[in-house]
Amino acid sequence: MARIARRFQRVEPRATAHAFVLGLLSGVERKNCWGLAEQAGHARPGPMQRLLRSARWDADEVRDDIRAYVFEHLGADDGVLIVDETGFLKKGTASAGVQRQYTGTAGRIENTQVGVFLAYASSRGRALIDRRLYLPDASWCRDAERRTRAGVPDQAEFATKPTLAGQMIAAALDAGIDASWVTGDEAYGQDPGLRALLESRRTGYVLAVACSTRVRINQGRTTARADAVADRLPASAWHRQSAGAGAKGPRYYDWAWIKINADDYRHLLIRRNPGSGELAFYLCWSPRRVPLSELVRVAGTRWCVEECFQAAKGQVGLDHYQVRHWTAWHRHITLAMLALAFLTALVADTTPTRPAQPNRPAHSTDPIDLTVPEIRHLLGTLLNPTNTSPHRLLHWSNWRRHHQATARRSHYRRRLANSSSG
């Protein structure tokens, strides 16, 4: 909180912001203004509501502090920027940007707000570092009365989701975030403008695209659909590699890559599920030569943003807000990102670097490292003391992590055995 204190000119909103973030880190069930005010011991929710709606502070400046804080704690040579969106289901039509639209949160068309987010992921952890509220064109950008009621600023114009992603990526790079790669799903990979922006910034990308995407083959002499290219590949073109560790062990897939431009390092990357045979396709570009394993690593990193959304919504109330105003949305989301960044930094700073121990007994199992949910649980209990003593609290934390390590080890063995037999 000391890092962002200068963003608040008055002591009252500064103290309320401190209580707000403590509430997000607590175990309170609903992390809206009412629940957070009760958790803080306030007599009414008014101070929390003013913090989000009318207090004088700039959420974008706090966002800049979060971005720098995340890179300070998680920055590494293998850092990747990830773009993705998530939905916030809403009732009514007054919330800024809300309309019936598809959201992966529900898996169908729902009345929802959609936020486009940028995450940073490295071997040290992952966290959200920027956000944009998507403002639909016909139902919002062209409706002046509706914009005024929701507090949408005059300078907010319609921008596609890939355009919003490009704005956040450019801002992160300009702010000194050192990331050699960007990844995202089809909604972003299909956009030529975003790919051109990344190439102009000399930033490599591994972006998912549809199976119908046409690519150049035979040294650029002909074009073909991506799925047609995959059908023509010989068995020797496929290589089984892990896309990173999952909850149940290494995520092994079969991978193939085809150079699609003779003049630079541009590839079509294809992923095949060994069990179902399902295919996924990626357009890849890099300013230098890289091995297949590097493209696979970046493609696998995309799942980190889903972990960020899950942690942000499940642990710090990213989607618990009950606000309609444009400014209030950005402020709640920003403070939730701050709480998540704090938890992620704690995880990174408390994760030990264990030296190799070749004589370690085969049956020995260390507890898993502290996770964001576990640290949030410990902090929440300390911030809201109960009859549980610190000794008993740590006892149960150690027990859970030992149990989870045993389960994970069993999953890994089974996954490796299945991979070897395949």
Please, which pLDDT band fits residue 223 given cuts at 50, 70 and 90? confident
Instruction: Measure the N-to-C terminal CA separation of the chain; round to a whole number of Å.
Output: 51
With a cut of 90, say whether residue 361 has pLDDT above it: no
Question: What are the distances in angstroms from CA 145 to CA 141, 150, 207, 325?
Answer: 10, 9, 38, 14
What is the pLDDT, as a whole number, of residue 200? 97
Query: Which pLDDT tens digit goes with each residue over 89-117?
Result: 999 999 999 999 988 888 889 999 999 99
Taking residue 112's Cβ as centre, other Cβ atoms within 10 Å add up to 21
Tell which residue, 12, 40, 3, 11, has the closest CA to residue 24. 40
With a cut of 90, say whether residue 120 has pLDDT above it: yes
Query: Which pLDDT tens digit goes with each residue over 265-305?
Result: 999 999 999 999 999 999 999 999 999 999 999 999 999 99
Average confidence (pLDDT) over 66-81: 96
Query: Which pLDDT tens digit goes with each residue over 192-204?
Result: 999 999 999 999 9
Average confidence (pLDDT) over 209-234: 88
With a cut of 60, say whether residue 49 has pLDDT above it: yes
What is the pLDDT, as a whole number, of residue 382? 75
> Which residues are registered as beta bridge partners of 169?
none
Tell which residue, 103, 108, 100, has the closest CA to residue 87. 103
What is the pLDDT, as a whole number, of residue 303? 94
The string over 19-50, giving b where at least 16 C-beta atoms fall within 10 Å of a residue's C-beta and e elsewhere, is bbbbbbbbbbeebbbbbbbbbbebeebebbbe
What is the pLDDT, as a whole number, of residue 389? 64
Distance CA 41, CA 33 (A): 12
Where do the DSSP E strands lie in 90-167? 99-103, 108-122, 125-133
Distance CA 206, CA 394 (A): 41
Please, which pLDDT band fits residue 393 given cuts at 50, 70 and 90? low
Query: Which pLDDT tens digit goes with each residue over 138-193?
Result: 899 999 999 999 999 999 999 999 999 999 999 999 999 999 999 999 999 999 99
Q: What secondary structure letter does DSSP report for 287?
A: S
Tell which residue, 92, 111, 93, has the closest CA to residue 102. 111
Which percentage of the chain shows pLDDT scores above 70? 87
User: Which of 44-58, 193-207, 222-236, 241-255 is least confident?
Assistant: 241-255
> Which residues are registered as beta bridge partners of 183?
82, 206
Please, which pLDDT band fits residue 364 given cuts at 50, 70 and 90? very low
What is the pLDDT, as a whole number, of residue 387? 55
Q: Please, where are the H alpha helices in 282-325?
A: 292-301, 304-315
What is the pLDDT, as a whole number, of residue 95? 95
Angle at which helix 326-350 crosses helix 11-25, to 10 degrees, equals 60
Distance CA 31, CA 8 (A): 22
